[in-house]
Amino acid sequence: MPSITIIGAGPGGYIAAFDAARRGASVTLIEKAEVGGTCLNTGCIPTKTIKASAEALETAGRLAEFGIVPAEGERTAFQVDMAAVVARKERVRKVLCGGLEKTCASLKVRLLRGRAEMVADRTVRVHTAEGTEEIKSDAVILATGSRTLDLPSLPVDHTHIINSDDALNLTHVPARMVIVGGGVIGCELAFIFRAFGAEVTVVEGLSRPLPIPSVDEDMSRLLQREAKKHGIRFELAKTVKSATVENGKVTCVLGPSPFVEGASGADSTIETDMVLVAVGRVPNSGDMQLAAAGVETDARGWIKADNGMRTTAEGIYAIGDALGPARVMLAHVASAEGLCAVANCFGEDRTLDYSVIPAGIFTSPEIGTVGLSEAEAVKQGLAVRSQVFQFRELGKAQAMGELAGMFKLICEQESGKVVGAHIAGAHATDLVAEVALAMQKGMTAADIAHTIHAHPTLAEGVYEAAEGWLRG
């Protein structure tokens, strides 16, 4: 059985470690920070835990809508206690981290704390609190992840100008917040802090929120409408040229975006109490001496690998965020890549198919996507037709009081084969799984429409979209 060293204990690294150990490998898992990586400690889980608090506060504000009123003589008002919200987030995080450490112990995965760097011939040098150790193994899996990108024009001071990591530990809600970056992270945090009471402005350099090719433009338009209803302001096709902190306030200078052709207009200023920078990620691999091991990276430092996760060095694999935006920087993709890499460590010849990957965006409403957007399908030369069904037409949505949203199904014109689905609305990130499975099995709109869906459920929206597609 092979010996495998894995650098990075995020969702790619620990899944790979557990799978390799269950197969009988001798596994060393190296982590310089917290087990669970970005996803568990500063990403997916913390943001969703805090979002649950934001949703609870919003629900409390709607109680009268559901016929829930204070008892006679009582008065009920709700506000956010950020210290308690952060404390709850930490409890959830620690429970999950502890669970991963227990799994390492039960599977006899050696968990080594320290900073790793590569040496030639599949040797890893680890700098720990006790000293330096070198580990030679049959295979190495690089799961080193990424970190927040800082902008020179917006130097983070962690007080007035913060990043997304800082946002998850705020013990107060600023009266006004400018979020730089209208991608997934920026939009999620915009809805969270608006729910907590902040006045939120999102500045996005492109011409729509969520300007990601895989996100259908209809979803961006819907989200922008719902953001406006929540009181969130968007400044699109603009960038923050500078930010000056004085007397506890931040003055931002906004100008036309260089990323949008034809963007124009005079510079403007906006005063705020806090700026949150959420403009992307950079690799963590800069100090790992990858070149010494023959591992090539691109100009930005992202590791080069094929679809079997093999790098340019024999016996060394790379997975997860370390591969950069040329792949898909999502936790569940990192896990799938980890399983692929381990299979190849055991002599298989497995590759990963990136064509059917569901993704969740936890805004209000949620957005779930899988496959191609309509624009991507057209760009690829596919003859497609889409069908939309509105959330408000579902009995379950009416009963829940969740009317905002839509189901959009994109299918090949001739065959009806499903090539993409985009859902916005309550539980959209769960609902999209049905279409992901349908796409994985090469199914058509007819296959979905001819499957009986329970009533009353939100999943009926997938059926209705498929049935509508068949009717043309």
Active site amino acids = 455
CA 12 and chain centroid, separation: 14
End-to-end CA distance of the chain: 56
- Rounded Cα gap, residues 105 and 111, in angstroms: 8
Q: What is the 3-state secondary structure (H, E, C) of the chain?
A: CCEEEEECCCHHHHHHHHHHHHCCCEEEEEECCCCCHHHHHCCHHHHHHHHHHHHHHHHHHCHHHHCCCCCCCCCCCCCCCHHHHHHHHHHHHHHHHHHHHHHHHHCCCEEEECEEEEECCCEEEEEECCEEEEEECCEEEECCCEEECCECCECCCCCCEEEHHHHCCCCCCCCEEEEECCCHHHHHHHHHHHHCCCEEEEEECCCCCCCCCCCCHHHHHHHHHHHHHHCCEEEECEEEEEEEEECCEEEEEEEECCCCCCCCCCCEEEEECEEEECCCEEECHHHCCHHHHCCCECCCCCECCCCCCECCCCCEEECHHHHCCCCCCCHHHHHHHHHHHHHHHCCCCCCCCCCCCCEEECCCCCEEEEECCHHHHHHCCCCEEEEEEEHHHCHHHHHHCCCCCEEEEEEECCCCEEEEEEEECCCHHHHHHHHHHHHHCCCEHHHHHCCCCCCCCCCHHHHHHHHHHHHC
Burial class (CB in 10 A: 0-12, 13-18, 19+), 422: buried
β-pair partners for 388: 408
HSE (CB half, 13 Å, CA atoms) of 350? 17
Please calculate the CA angle 300-303-307 and round it to the nearest 5 degrees: 130
Beta bridge partners of 281: 148
